[in-house]
Amino acid sequence: MTSAQPSPLYPLRFEPIYQYRIWGGQRLAKLLSAPLPDEEPIGEAWLLSDREDHASVVAEGSLKGLTLGQLLTQFPREMLGCLAGRFDRFPLLLKFLDARDVLSVQVHPSDTQTDYLPEGESGKTEAWIVLEDGPNSCVYAGLNPGTTRETLQTAIANGNVADRLASFSPKPGDGVFIPAGTVHSFGDMLVFEVQENSDVTFRLFDWNHIDTKTGQPRPLQVDQAMSCIDFKKGALAAVVPVIEASASALRERMFECKHFSLWRISGDSPFTVGAIGQPRVLVCIEGDGYLEHEGNTYAFGKGDTLLLPAVVGACVCQPSASITVLEISLPETA
């Protein structure tokens, strides 16, 4: 009887994928070690992406150079464990966003609004963790009381959409949950975002921005956006974290929905991350340290993203000093 071969998988670190955005800046250089393109506004760093146009690539180790999609094809059970076979692709997209200017006022369709989803796309529920604010930071999330389709259309025509949007001034550490169908925007902030793996956005209003690359305004999709808005969605505020543990480290559950769950873990003593038989994603937003797995150590620091394949299971995180890590789980159903 032969023993089972050891898995070739290990805690996988991925390279960020930078994205030009007219509202972006250069603040992601403070978070990520990979150099930003010079003299260009970078609004997004895609940290973990299983999309044909932007595929995340393993940064180091024996699997360096393989994409996330290739790993899921070659090692479906080892990567996803009990979730294997439930998804056509990795179901989440993770990003850092640098909104030097304000994003367009926008809305995303839900999974059930299939008339507005291109083939292969899902809806888009998302959530943010505010990493850094600025003097003009603002979150727009939801609609003010009394806003109807007609009053919102009038506001769009008159250019005073902000009057119809619920808003608040965020602070670092705030979590904001944006269900599909919610009108939203934000500006002058650095945030982490977790979302369904979708790139479907309908713009209602773009603050009269001009794209310097084209010299033109960006297109709006007002009709589609209006059809996808949940007009029953009122004003949204920052979430209230739920403390689940505080012994070795402070573990707060920030978001829990059918698409993802996210915990924020902070401490300066060793603590456990990951789960037996399930994949987890780790994003370090402060400090540095290393993971222990099968006698090996895997260093990571601020801005790094690590995917723990299901076969890796739980690991011990050893902080160098104080560290803050986001841990994200996948949905248990497709």
Q: Which of the residues are catalytic?
A: 203
Residues 192-226 as b/e (b if ≥16 CB within 10 A, e otherwise) read bbbbbbbebebbbbbbeeeeeeeeeeeebbbebbb
- Of the candidates 237, 114, 116, which has an alpha carbon nearest to the alpha carbon of residue 171? 237
Task: Name the one residue in this structure whose structure tokens are 């032969």.
Answer: 2
Q: What angle do CA 148, 151, 155 make, to 5 degrees?
A: 135
User: Which H or E run includes 76?
Assistant: helix 76-80
Tokens of 40: 């260009």
DSSP label at 258? S
Question: Distance between CA atoms of 110 and 117, rounded to whole angstroms?
Answer: 9
Instruction: Give me the DSSP letters along 260-304.
Output: -EEEEEEESS-EEE-BTTB-EEEEEEE-EEEEEETTEEEEEETT-
Tokens of 205: 């209003």
Question: Distance between CA atoms of 291 and 279, rounded to whole angstroms?
Answer: 15
For the purposes of burial, counting CB atoms within 10 Å of the CB of 145, is it exposed (0-12), middle (13-18) or buried (19 or more)? exposed
Amino acid residing at 59: A
CB 73 within 8 A of CB 159: no
Q: How far is CA 123 from the centre of its chain?
A: 14
Q: HSE of 239 in the Cβ direction (CA atoms, 13 Å)?
A: 22
Question: Distance between CA atoms of 46 and 222, rounded to whole angstroms?
Answer: 26
